[in-house]
Homo-oligomer: A and B are copies of this chain.
Amino acid sequence: MARTQGSHSDITGPRIRQAALRLFARHGYAAVSMRKIAGEVGVQAGALYNYTPDKQSLLFRLMRDHMQDLLSAYGEQKQTGDPQDALRRFVGFHIRFHLQRPDEVFIAYMELRNLTPENFAEIEDLRRKYEDGLEAILREGQRAGIFAVADTKIATLAVIAMLNGVMTWYRAGGRLSLDEVEAVYWDMVRKAMTA
C-alpha cells in the first residue's frame, strides 16, 4: 500500500496539528509518541514527516502559532479609553480568549521546558510582548493616579497569574456564566489595582 484514498495535505496537515495539540495537552510532550499522534490521525508514523521536520518543531509551531494568535487578537482590541476601562477590557479579553483555547494555553504554559533554547527564547519573547501590553495599562493608570500598585511589573504578573487560575476550574455550563466569571474577576482585579 502507499498513498491512500482521499489523502490530501490540506486535510492531513491540520488533523496532525490538532491531534498533537490534544495529546500534548492531555499527556505531555514527552509522553506522547509520534506513533500515537499518527494513530489518532489514522496514518503511519512516517507520514508525519511530510508535515514537520521533527517532533520538536511540531510542538514549537503549536506554541508559536498560539502566541501569535494571542498577540494579533489583542492587537485588534480597542486601545483607547482611560486606564480603568483598558484594564477592564484586558481582563475580559484574557479570560475569554484563553477559555476558548484550553489545550493551547495548557501547552504554551507547561511545555516550555521541552523547547530547545532557541525556541524557548522565541516563545518567551512573544509572552513578554503580551505582558507588556498589560503593564503599559498599569503604568498609565499609575501615572494618572488611578492605580496604586507597589510595582507595575509584579502587578502585571500577579494579574495574569490570577486570571490564568480561571482555566483550572471553569467549565462551560457550570455554576457561573462567562459574564459572571468576568465580573467576579474584574471586581478583584480592579480593587487590587486601585488606590
Contacts and interface: CB of A to CB of B under 8 A. Distances in A.
A26 B113 contact: yes
Nearest to A162: B162
Given A28-B30, A113-B26, A188 B149 contact: yes
Given A150-B187, A187-B150, A192-B192, A114 B31 contact: yes
Given A28-B113, A28-B114, A183-B150, A168 B158 contact: no
A155 interface: yes
Given A26-B113, A113-B26, A183-B150, A158 B31 contact: no
Majority SS of interface residues in chain A?
A: helix
A169 B155 CA distance: 12
Contacts of A158: 162, 165, 185, 188
A11 interface: no
A188 B194 CA distance: 9
Interface in A133-191: 149-151, 154-155, 157-162, 164-165, 168-169, 176, 181, 183-185, 187-189, 191
Contacts of A28: 28-30, 113-114
Contacts of A154: 169, 176, 181, 184-185
A189 B154 CA distance: 13
Contacts of A191: 191-194
A15 to B, nearest CB: 23
A110 interface: yes
Nearest to A150: B184
